[in-house]
């Protein structure tokens, strides 16, 4: 132990450095006023969530108020937590078309991985930025189709056109509008 170390020990040098750090922040906050708190007053002010934020899942509609979902069950298959239950049925009088007669999401189990959104072939599912969904009764978190559609209406007011009006390729091959890599010629 050198003399310098001894002097540092007896003058509480390291502690004084720490106390200097805290008082610096204090002076910047209170006297110089050039420093702001990093926290927000949550219910009054909310932070901007990133565009890729994965919040509550919603069902979407086309711009003519018809549901996008075709009842294919791929979301149910993709879900790792068995959140989704789809009961699909034929559209009356149109045997080639199907829709989800009932659609349930048990959000108590959802882990917000977004695999269902990726799996959906018609982009009927989307992730909103809603997260404040605390409920007194956990059964309130088993959302049915109407609730999921309402979530979609509230968070995505701009709706897409029906597939056949978007682009000829999309209409016939039903590939959504993912940017698929071009094939090497």
30, 96, 134, 180: which one contacts other proteins (CB under 8 A)? 30
Interaction of residue 15 with other proteins, rule CB under 8 A: yes
Q: How far is the CB of 1 from other proteins (least distance, A)?
A: 15
Number of residues that bind other proteins (CB under 8 A): 15
37, 132, 134, 180: which one contacts other proteins (CB under 8 A)? 37
Nearer to other proteins, 25 or 87 (CB): 25
- Please choose, from the candidates 145, 164, 157, the residue with its C-alpha nearest in 3D space to the C-alpha of residue 63: 157
Nearer to other proteins, 19 or 171 (CB): 19
5, 13, 29, 89: which one contacts other proteins (CB under 8 A)? 29
Q: How far is the CB of 39 from other proteins (least distance, A)?
A: 5
Nearer to other proteins, 23 or 111 (CB): 23
Interaction of residue 34 with other proteins, rule CB under 8 A: no
| CA separation for the pair 73, 99 (Å, rounded) | 10
In the stretch 119-158, what mask flags binding to other proteins with x, by CB under 8 A?
Answer: ----------------------------------------
Task: Provide Rg for the chain, Cα atoms.
Answer: 27
Q: Which residues of the chain form contacts with other proteins (CB under 8 A)?
A: 15, 18-19, 21-23, 25-26, 29-30, 35, 37-39, 41
């Amino acid at each position: 132990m050198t003399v310098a170390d001894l002097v540092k020990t007896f003058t509480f040098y390291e502690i004084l450095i720490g106390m200097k750090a805290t008082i610096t922040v204090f002076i910047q906050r209170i006297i110089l006023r050039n420093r702001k708190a990093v926290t927000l007053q949550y219910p009054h002010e909310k932070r901007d969530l990133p565009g890729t934020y994965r919040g509550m899942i919603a069902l979407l509609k086309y711009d003519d108020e018809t549901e996008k979902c075709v009842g294919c069950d791929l979301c149910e298959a993709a879900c790792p937590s068995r959140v989704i239950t789809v009961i699909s049925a034929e559209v009356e009088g149109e045997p080639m078309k199907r829709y989800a007669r009932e659609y349930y999401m048990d959000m108590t189990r959802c882990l917000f991985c977004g695999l269902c959104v990726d799996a959906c072939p018609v982009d009927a599912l989307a992730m909103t930025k809603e997260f404040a969904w605390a409920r007194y009764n956990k059964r309130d978190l088993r959302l049915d189709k109407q609730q999921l559609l309402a979530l979609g209406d509230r968070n995505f007011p701009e709706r897409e056109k029906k597939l056949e009006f978007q682009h000829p390729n999309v209409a016939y091959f039903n590939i959504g509008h993912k940017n698929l890599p071009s094939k090497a010629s």
